[in-house]
Structures are given as structure tokens and as C-alpha cells.
Structure 1
Amino acid sequence: MTPFHLIPEALSPAECDALIALCQGHEMKDAGLVRQTTAHQIRRAELSWLDDIPEASWVMDRMIRLVAEANRAAFGFDLTDFLESPQVARYGAEREGHFDWHSDIGSGQVAAKRKLTIVVQLSDPADYQGGVLELRPDSNIREVERARGTAVLFPSFVLHRVTPVTEGTRWSLTLWTHGPAFR
């Protein structure tokens, strides 16, 4: 199995701009709030959920098609649906935006069914420093391509992080596809 799969130009620069603008026009919530306690040492970002933004419905249509093609080409997982809203994250240097090592599969009815994680780079890499998405599918750490509009797909059990943003702002789109438990 491939540790991750890249899709260059999953979104155009204009589509990235449009998605960022939609999220800036809606309230973004602090991602450091976990179970009513602050966890900024783990994650410091602001989030928008696209289910709350009707004008962003086109994003799911695009992602469903891309995920189906990538899964056939690289993973062959048994996928059934998307149970969670896609989220757009803003990692700003003013807050040292980051997300420490974690996996996206976990306990709970929804997280336990996550099979593939999809992250799309919305920002131009020249607009920020740091903020590198790193994957650790084995004992090696791999940096993910930062080209604007590029999507990376990887099994949700793979450890990954976003290093601290030291200048500017990094925007990304994340969603998960679900299916029966791995066996």
C-alpha cells in the first residue's frame, strides 16, 4: 500500500481563493477547544465547517470524485460515506498555528470509521513560513508537497502534524471518508 497519494491541482488557485473568502465571511471557531478544555499545546488554529456555508456545497462534489479515483488508484479501501463536514483550517503566525502529532482515527462512533484523510493546500506557499504538513507512515517523516491546490490522501491511522507557522497564514481544507472497521 502507498503511504500517501498526491493529486496536483485538485483545486484551482481561483477555487482556493473563493473557499478562503467564504470562510473569512463566516465565524471561525477556535480549534484548541477540546472537550471543554483548552488544548492549544496540541492544536492552535481556527476552523470553519463547510456544512455551515451553503455556498461551499461544490467542494463536496469535487472531493467525492477525487477520493473515489484516488482510492481506486492507491488504496482499495472499503469506503461507504462522508459522515463529517469538511473543515477549513486557518493556521496563523500571530498564534503560532500548529497541530502536533496525531492520527485521525480514534474512538467514538464517527472517528472510529475514518478510513482516508484528505488535506488540500489552499494557501500559496509563498504566503507563509513553517506550517509544513508532515506524515509519519513508518519510521520516516515525509513532508507533503505544498503547491497550492494539491490534495494529499492518506490512511487516517497515519501519524501526521502541521509544524508551527512562523510567518503569514496557512489555509487548508480537510475531510475524511468513512467505512467499516479495518480488518
Structure 2
Amino acid sequence: MFMHAVPALFSAAEAAEVIRLAVDVQATSGGLVGGLHNHNIRRADIAWLDDTGSAAWVMERIVSGVARANRDVFDFDISDFRERLQVAAYDESVAGHYDWHSDIGDGPIARWRKLTIVVQLSDPQSYRGGALEINPGGTTVTAARGIGDATLFASFMLHRVTPVTHGTRHSLTCWCHGPAFR
């Protein structure tokens, strides 16, 4: 199995607090692995949270959720978390989206990504579109959209966020790292 759902990893109040923490950080236009920008592939604003400062509790929750899921489902060789927490905002004003991609890349850190966790932060009634879709081998699966729900998947899997047509979708993403897949 290369995909797993964790319902309510964060409460609605905690999800709102993560969005608030992201608003306090200077958001930038989301890029691709290697720092490239292509708005035909990705349109989102991203904020990087200080996972050792004000967002340390968020990272602790992510680490705990990943440890459980990895033990129960994936059994990947995960050694660390080399990247900060990323909060993405996909807004209707720019048809926010992220086309099909995988999270493993040629970057000095991206090549060590093993597991991706994405947490739904927005109320699903507050926006339309913006579905996280994962393709685990020819069939598209749509991730849960409940506030605080987490979806974990192997970082090599193709996935996308469909264009947001109304409102704004916020999500929290973190990558887990380890030795290269064999």
C-alpha cells in the first residue's frame, strides 16, 4: 500500500491556528523542485513555518502521525525531516492548482524524500475544486477533505491539486526523508 488516510490528525481549531501561523509568515509564489516557477504547473502561495519555534507543536503532531502510519502501513526507512512545514494557499483568483507531479526530484533535499503527508486545513464547504488527487498506478484517488484529515503517500507517486474555482483551499505539507529507495 502506498497511500494512507489519518482522519482528524488536527482538530478544526488547530487547523485554523496553522492557517493563522502561515498568515504571519511572508508568503511567496510556490515553485517547483529546483526553485523553478511555472504557473501553468503550479499556482499557489506558500509559507514556510518555523517548526522549532511557534509551530513546534505542529511538527510534533506531524512526526507522531507519520511514525504511526509508517509503522502500520509503509515500513519505509525514514531517518529525518529535512524541510520545514509548508502551508499552501490555492485561491480562486488565480485558479490555484498544482498539476500532476511527484515530490521526488533532483534537488539536494528532494532526492531523499520518501513519504509525503498533506493535511487539509480548510473547511471543504468554503471552496470548490482544489481536490488532492493521487494516482497510485493508473487509478485516480481523491484524498479526504475533512478539516484536519491527513493523507500520506509515497513521495514518488503522481499527485495533483485540481484548480480552485471558488474560495481558497489551505493545506499543510511535510516530507519525510531517508536513504534512497532500492
TM-score between the two structures when normalised by the length of structure 1: 0.95
Displacement of 1:32: 4.3
Show the counterpart of 1:111: 110
d(CA) in 1 for partners of 2:32, 2:98? 13
Runs of 4+ in 1 over 2 A off after TM superposition: 32-38, 51-54
**Identity percentage of aligned residues:** 53
Question: Structure 1, residues 20-79: CA drift from partner, whole Å, max 9, x if none?
Answer: 111112211111477676410010000010127831111111111110000011100011
Extract unaligned runs of 5+ from structure 1.
Answer: none
Question: Structure 1, residues 98-140: CA drift from partner, whole Å, max 9, x if none?
Answer: 0000000111321111000000000000000000000001011
d(CA) in 2 for partners of 1:24, 1:133? 22
Show the counterpart of 1:10: 9
d(CA) in 2 for partners of 1:36, 1:158? 20
TM-score between the two structures when normalised by the length of structure 2: 0.95
Show the counterpart of 1:61: 60
Show the counterpart of 1:94: 93
Extract unaligned runs of 5+ from structure 2.
Answer: none
Aligned residues: 182
d(CA) in 2 for partners of 1:21, 1:110? 27
- Paired amino acid for 2:180: A
Question: Structure 1, residues 74-95: CA drift from partner, whole Å, max 9, x if none?
Answer: 1000110000111000000011
d(CA) in 1 for partners of 2:142, 2:113? 22
- Paired amino acid for 1:59: V
d(CA) in 1 for partners of 2:34, 2:153? 26
* RMSD (CA atoms): 1.6
Show the counterpart of 1:179: 178
- Paired amino acid for 2:160: R
d(CA) in 1 for partners of 2:86, 2:12? 18
